[in-house]
Structure 1
Amino acid sequence: TFVTQLLPCAKAVSDGYPAPPVPVLLSFTVLSLFLSITPVIGWRPWPNQKINASDLQFGGSKKYEGSSEFVHLKYHMGPVFTANITVHTIWYGTWQKTQKRIIREFINSISAVDSKPPAVSGWWKTVQQYTDQTGANISRSVSLGPEKNDRFYSHGKSLTRLSIQSVIKSAVTARTRPMPISPKSGLYLLLTSDDVHVQDFCGQVCGFHYFTFPSIVGYTLPYAWVGNSAKLCAGLCAYPFAVPNYIPTLKPLKSPNGDVGVDGMISVIGHEIAELATNPLVNAWYAGQDPVSPVEIADLCEGIYGTGGGGSYTGQMLNGGDGATYNMNGIRRRFLVQWVWNHVLSYCTGPNALDQ
């Protein structure tokens, strides 16, 4: 398959050394194949179908949480992030300072052990249970590294999956303050502002992760992209803080940080970081037989935020005194983040579970 053909090349440059020049014909063939396939990994809060409004409010068993004896999540012997993880953020487009603060605090909260429970760090403990072939666990430490601002839209306001890799290349090869090259512990997070269109955004995905091609970037770097859907499709990618137009009777919930687009991004960012940590080169932890379309630890829990979640019921969440909805605490802020699959218990878990 396409991915398994690329993985040997990815392994060859996993230590961060520039890849040898690729013949022009081979580069063209690889790029042509990439353009012709369907998206490899993506995420959206709800499936691409209309759902019953009453299900969103009342449906679902109180002990469902995605549990199934038919889910066979397996380890395929690939590398995972066992070294301390550094997140390098690329802010593409126009971002307000308050928006950056919300996202930065969420990422910093992953390793903040003193946060009030239920905490973001408690959510990450489920991710930490995953190991590599030596038995080493996913790192507890997730921190912010050097960032890059691309406020002038260097590659335009309409990006493809390939041009996203070009944006990353520009960041790591910049003349001034280039972003560090860290294939073993660096996680590259490209965030696009609410006026940037991305291939498959809103129609199929709200975010995705993959790894860069040496023929484009010069290195194999695990990366994720997440877009701000506020102006484009908040009802799809910022649910439940916005609702789809086809459910006019359903009222949106109040977001915990007062920014519907960014509060909606938080769960998608968490989704992609969890999957990058456990499946950075698409050959580690996933269910199914096809690495081109893997089902990963966050895919198994889409739309589940609390006890009883499943189907189209989000589960039991928390309500603040200000009326905002959330399910976990950060250092100072509150967030709504989807649960992830616990391979030890074989169902979705989160720090706000009522039966822990």
Structure 2
Amino acid sequence: MCLGLSAPSPPSTVLLSFALLLSFLLAGGPVSAWRPWPQNGQMNVTDYAFGDSKKYEGSSEFVKLRYHMGPVLTTKITVHTIWYGKWDRSQKKIIREFINSISATNSPHPSVAGWWRTVQLYTDQTGANISKTVRLGEEKNDRLYSHGKSLTRLSIQSVIKSAITARTRPLPINPRSGLYLLLTAEDVYVQDFCTSVCGFHYFTFPSLVGYTLPYAWVGNSAKLCPGQCAYPFAVPAYIPNLKPFKSPNGDVGVDGMISVIGHEMAELTTNPLANAWYAGQDPSFPVEIADLCEGIYGTGGGGSYTGQVLDARDGATYNMNGIRRRFLVQWLWSHVLNYCTGPNALDH
């Protein structure tokens, strides 16, 4: 399947692009939108999928995760990061080290690489597994907020277009194995941020960007809504007497972003064009491999309980090791085991 367009589109492609754009607008946007905070009594994916299961986190006869024959990222994955707004060097370092840790097989157990092995279990129609190699590619800084401090879902695609068409040091166009990661600073608001999403993934439209590129957006919630999007390092105001966890890298906003980044990267590699791995009948509203494990970070997790996690000597909470850092990242659904799992599972 051709994932990018470099020449003028034939009429059929133009119609397809228009149809995709129309469906995007009617459906309300990207196929995946994640929020880690407890849902204040409302039923969510966790409640539906997990039921009363105690032995295996997420096991349920109701979960029907299927492969819909679309492409997945089986070639070495290159993450091209767009830093939108003002970022401290230390914040960038935390996020870069998390991404670099995905392929770092020599990290201490339980490791980020061990977490990614669940993603690697997923295949395309030829039987090829998702790549075990994830590396950082070129980056682009947009310190001047070129598209403003309030972005819509469609203007996010315009930010990506600006990054790949910049006069100086444009990002490379890599539709087959590139993953474009747009990260917005703490003073940037994105449509539906804090109220229903902390991050989402989708693909760019040729009619807007010129190419079909898988991308994810994640926002820094430190100023706008840490109790929602940096949970459990901050807690929602409506939950009294709940003490937040100490973040492992000393930055509540960025440590909260790490799990959302992991969530979106796992889903983007297994369902980049909304036609590969997901549960449900509607590709515009799929339940993907990370949605099924929302809020689970360890054995016994579910609902508003994170499960069994680890405490560092300084009191920080984590569940996996990277190259030089520790991180708290939600678990993922294994279609082989048919339940949620992670490298810190007690039954491993």
TM-score by length of 1: 0.90
Aligned to 2:25: 35
**Is the Cα contact below 8 Å between 1:88 and 1:147 reproduced in 2?**
yes
Determine which of 88, 93, 103 is the counterpart of 1:101. Answer: 93
Alignment equivalent of 2:185, drawn from 182, 185, 193? 193
Taking the aligned partners of 2:268 and 2:108, their CA distance within structure 1 comes to 26
SS at match of 1:174: coil
Shift of 1:36: 3.5
1:20 maps onto 2:12 in alignment: no
CA distance in 1, matches of 2:313, 2:19: 57
Structure-2 separation of matches of 1:111 and 1:29: 37
Partner of 2:35: 44
Deviation at 1:30, TM superposition (A): 6.0
Residue 81 of structure 2: SS of its match in structure 1?
strand
Match of 1:161 in 2: 153
CA distance in 2: counterparts of 1:182 and 1:296, whole angstroms: 24
Q: Please tell me the residue identity of whatever aligns with 2:95.
A: I
The match for 2:49 is: none
Q: CA deviation at 1:32?
A: 5.4
Deviation at 1:310, TM superposition (A): 1.6
Q: String of CA shifts for 1:124-157, please: whole Å, max 9, x gaps.
A: 0000000000000000000000000000000000
Letter paired with 1:337:
V
Q: Is the 8 A contact 1:44 1:205 kept in 2?
A: yes
Q: Does 1:272 align with 2:229?
A: no
Q: Give the distance between the partners of 2:337 and 2:20, measured in 1 at CA.
A: 40
Preserved contact between residue 59 and residue 340 of structure 2 (Cα < 8 Å): yes
8 Å contact 2:118–2:332 — kept in the other structure?
yes
Superposed displacement of residue 14, structure 1:
1.1
Contact 1:317 1:326 in 2 (8 A): yes
Using the aligned pairs only, state the percent identity. 77
* Matches of 1:127 and 1:104, distance apart in 2: 19
Q: Does 1:208 align with 2:206?
A: no
Alignment of 1:77-92 (within 5 A): 77-92=69-84
State the partner residue of 1:299. 291
Aligned residue identity for 2:192 = D
Q: Is the 8 A contact 2:230 2:253 kept in 1?
A: yes
Q: Indicate the residue corresponding to 2:212 in structure 1.
A: 220
- Contact 1:85 1:139 (8 Å CA) reproduced: yes
Contact 1:19 1:214 in 2 (8 A): no
Q: In structure 2, how many angstroms separate the alpha carbons of the residues matched to 1:35 and 1:240?
A: 32
- C-alpha separation in 2, matches of 1:84 and 1:38: 31
Letter of the structure 2 residue corresponding to residue 49 of structure 1: N
Q: Between Structure 1 and Structure 2, how many residues are aligned?
A: 337
In structure 2, what is the Cα distance between the partners aligned to 1:159 and 1:48?
A: 25
Further displaced range: 306-315 or 98-107: 306-315
RMSD: 2.0
SS in 1 for 2:314: coil
**What amino acid is the match of 1:88?**
H
Structure 1 gaps, min length 5: 1-10, 52-59
Contact 2:38 2:304 in 1 (8 A): no
In the superposition, the TM-score normalised over structure 2's length comes to 0.92
Structure-2 change in CA distance of 1:277 and 1:105 (3 Å): same
Matched, 1:282 2:274: yes
| 1:183-224 C-alpha deviation (Å, 9 max, x unpaired) | 000000000000000001111110000000000100000000
Deviation at 1:50, TM superposition (A): 4.4
Give CA deviations for 1:78-101 in whole Å, capped at 9, x if unaligned.
000000000000000010000000
